[in-house]
Amino acid sequence: MALGVNVAGAESPAYDDYVVKQLHELGIRHVRMAWSPASARFTERLFQRLIEERFSVMVALLPVPETAGKLAFDNDAQSEWRAFVRGFVQRHGYQVDALEIGNAPNRPKWSGYTPRSYLTAWKIAIEEARGLNAPIAGPNISDFEPFFNIAYLRSMRRIGPAPDIQTDNLFVERAVQPEAYDPSAMGRLLKNIMRFNLAKKIRVLTDIATRIGIDETYCSYTCWTQARLARWTAEPERKGADYLSRYLLIAAATGRLSRLYWGPLIDFRDGLIDCGCSDYPVVDNVAHYQSVRGDLADFRHQPTFWAFKFFSQLLRDAQCHRAFTTGAGLYCFVLADADQVHHVYFSLDRTIFKLGALYANLDQAEVRDTQGRILDRFNGLVGESPVVITLSEKAALPEDLLRRLAPLGGADVVHGLNKSDQASEFSDVNWHGVVSTASTDSQLTPYSIDSLQPIRALRDKRNKLWTVRSPSHNRDLVIKLNRATGARRLSYLFGKSKALRHWNNATEMLRRGVSTPTPVAFFERHRFRGVRANYYVAEFVDDSFTARDIFAAIKNGDAEYRGIQTQDWLQVLAEFVGFMHRRRIVHRDLSAGNLLIQLHDGEPLVSVIDIGRATIDSNASILLDLQRICYKLDWPNRQAFIKHYKKASPRSSTRFWRLACHAYDFKLDWKRALKRALRGKRKATK
């Protein structure tokens, strides 16, 4: 599988020099360009420069979107398109590596095509390109929509020769992880039945092409956008490099794609190079990567740039001999060149595997990360960021042992984005858990917790909460002993323990950039873990106060609290809640006491605590949080809070927030009245 990248020109010739320099840096020879009447002038200049530099250039000829929809019935539009194609073929047909006709015809909002107008464009282009030595490619369907591929390819074959190459913008971004089953392919209900992951999508598309009589399939464009990655991680740039690496490995292992173009080379939202601007073209880059924007002085290499460089070289020099995945989510690839064998590993997001004992000579191996950097210290832990282990040619893959590996801590444990070298498992006949080795609290075990000298007791009711001094560091820890009592024992019997829920929720929140005290450890029993005592340990947040103190100041009529205007405090808290909801996290017990605030140089930092009931990526209503956080506020301040919240989380529906607050007020007032009545009745009986 050959690798390439999508490029575009710009008004200034200086951009051409920059593009060529970056292509040489990447070490690739295949590029793809979109060419339309709107961009012909500077696109042709870059094209000639690329030909002079001996790059293999695939050109996608496009009508402007306003013309594309008219091609089925407008003679003038047809004549204009015919003249454009004829002119290109006559001037440059002998120079192109391949000529592509099509740009997302299944996305009329982007391309302007209707099915009939695209087929008209194809028929005209085929007539004008007759006799061209270069292969003709199409239809460039966007995403995985195989019914469109079948319908268009059959129609193209009927009205003229089928394309020599099938092209498809094979995105998997909507599935988030490259290996995940796509919920949009056949619907969420069929996701785990149809199992359309990247490898299966490639097989389906290439099988469709073969049945039509097409021998080659190109992926013409793929990427992850920074905005979408930011929904799930606080480090979208790093995550983009992980996903790019994993995508390339899986695509290469299938052996089905003849060529894969990444794209675009330069763009702030989804490029290998950040152009430094924030505006996005009206026509999506997927349909028409028309021009480079921004100032050269602001251009910056993304981690994806170096990941693409490293893996394109690795896949060019080495052949994939073996690829498999374990049922637990560990992926393994064996690449071999003339002199060495490369074992490439990664896991599904949020999991970690320990390889150390499987290799006798791991200390002597050269281990690289996604950007090709040699790791000075590798402890044998493999996470969601791929690692490449280069060994001698005789080294064999311990496949049988690998298939029996279980994720560190168990399949239910969530690990953070930066935890690939920061977690250790604790397990004996009674207890099971995970300890963050970033804290190196080696003395922290479920047996040693009760022997640690308490500093202060924070709570001792249904659950016990207290602080202790770290046995290994000069810092305080918060320990929460969770105890299920009464009817709750039945509801917790088959569920996850509270300690595990706290660990997972805290880890996932930090992954998404939502501040919460750093988790240190959790310990639970092997049997009946949900109902037996379990421990959760986190770092203690010193010099802090809660939103309850702020709301009390507002109720007292104070104009400010700790040097900040009380109305500004409402904005700070509302923005934090809105940010949390944008990351698809609903706390479900968001009282004012569960928002913790610290002041750093006068700037507030808000964290959320008591997160055992929180849900992530669920359909839980945000009103559960809004009605609780607004309870201590009067109605004018509730309205001010919701106003700030809407600006911070514009996509969240708050239409019924007043009704939710009224219902919650009634519920708590009724509970208080019932308690007063019961207390009075008990006094009367005495």
Residues 561 and 624 in one domain: yes
**Side chain identity at 286, as an amino acid letter?**
V
For 179-218, the pLDDT digits (tens) are 999 988 888 888 888 899 999 999 999 999 999 999 999 9
**What radius of gyration, in Å, describes the C-alpha atoms of the chain?**
29
For 593-605, the pLDDT digits (tens) are 999 999 998 899 9
Residues 609 and 472 in one domain: no
User: Residue 174: is its pLDDT beyond 80?
Assistant: yes
- Per DSSP, the residues of 301-368 read E-HHHHHHHHHHHHHHHSEEEEEEE-TTSEEEEEEE-SS-EEEEEEE-TT--EE-GGG-TTGGGSEEE
Residues 535 and 599 in one domain: no
Domain end position, chosen among 372, 403, 434? 403
| 8 Å CB contact between 394 and 350 | no
The Cα-based distances of 277 to 13, 15, 22, 294 in angstroms read 19, 15, 19, 5
> What is the total count of domains within the chain?
4
> For the domain that residue 473 is a member of, what is the CATH number?
3.30.200
Domain-embedded: residue 639: yes
Residues 628 and 483 in one domain: no
> For the domain that residue 52 is a member of, what is the CATH number?
3.20.20.80
Rounded average pLDDT over 144-151:
95
> For the domain that residue 601 is a member of, what is the CATH number?
1.10.510.10
Across all residues in the chain, what is the average pLDDT?
A: 91
Nearest CA among 148, 172, 248, 258 for reference residue 214: 258
Domain-embedded: residue 204: yes
Residues 264 and 138 in one domain: yes
- pLDDT, residue 39, reads 84
Residues 227 and 111 in one domain: yes
Domain-embedded: residue 256: yes
Residues 511 and 574 in one domain: no
| 8 Å CB contact between 387 and 375 | yes
d(CA 33, CA 55): 12
Domain-embedded: residue 666: no
Domain-embedded: residue 346: yes
Residues 608 and 647 in one domain: yes
User: Residue 396: is its pLDDT beyond 90?
Assistant: no
Q: What percent of the chain has pLDDT over 90?
A: 70
Domain end position, chosen among 520, 539, 558? 539
Domain that holds residue 525: 424-539
For 598-641, the pLDDT digits (tens) are 999 889 999 999 999 999 998 899 999 999 999 999 999 999 99
Residues 456 and 583 in one domain: no
377 pLDDT tier (thresholds 50, 70, 90):
confident
User: Residue 531: is its pLDDT beyond 80?
Assistant: no
Residues 353 and 493 in one domain: no
Segment among 272-276, 288-292, 416-420 with least mean pLDDT: 416-420
Sheet holding 534-539, edge to edge: 424-427, 431-435, 519-525, 534-539, 476-482, 464-469, 454-460
Rounded average pLDDT over 255-276:
95
419 pLDDT tier (thresholds 50, 70, 90):
low
- pLDDT, residue 439, reads 57
The Cα-based distances of 314 to 319, 341, 573 in angstroms read 9, 11, 48
Token look-up 């004018």 returns 636
Domain-embedded: residue 681: no
Q: Residue 433 forms beta bridges with which residues? A: 426, 523
Tokens representing 455? 């500093």
Q: Exposed/middle/buried for 189, CB within 10 Å: 0-12, 13-18, 19+?
A: exposed
Q: Note if the pTM is more than 0.85.
A: yes
364 pLDDT tier (thresholds 50, 70, 90):
confident
Residues 519 and 476 in one domain: yes
Residues 252 and 155 in one domain: yes
- pLDDT, residue 488, reads 64
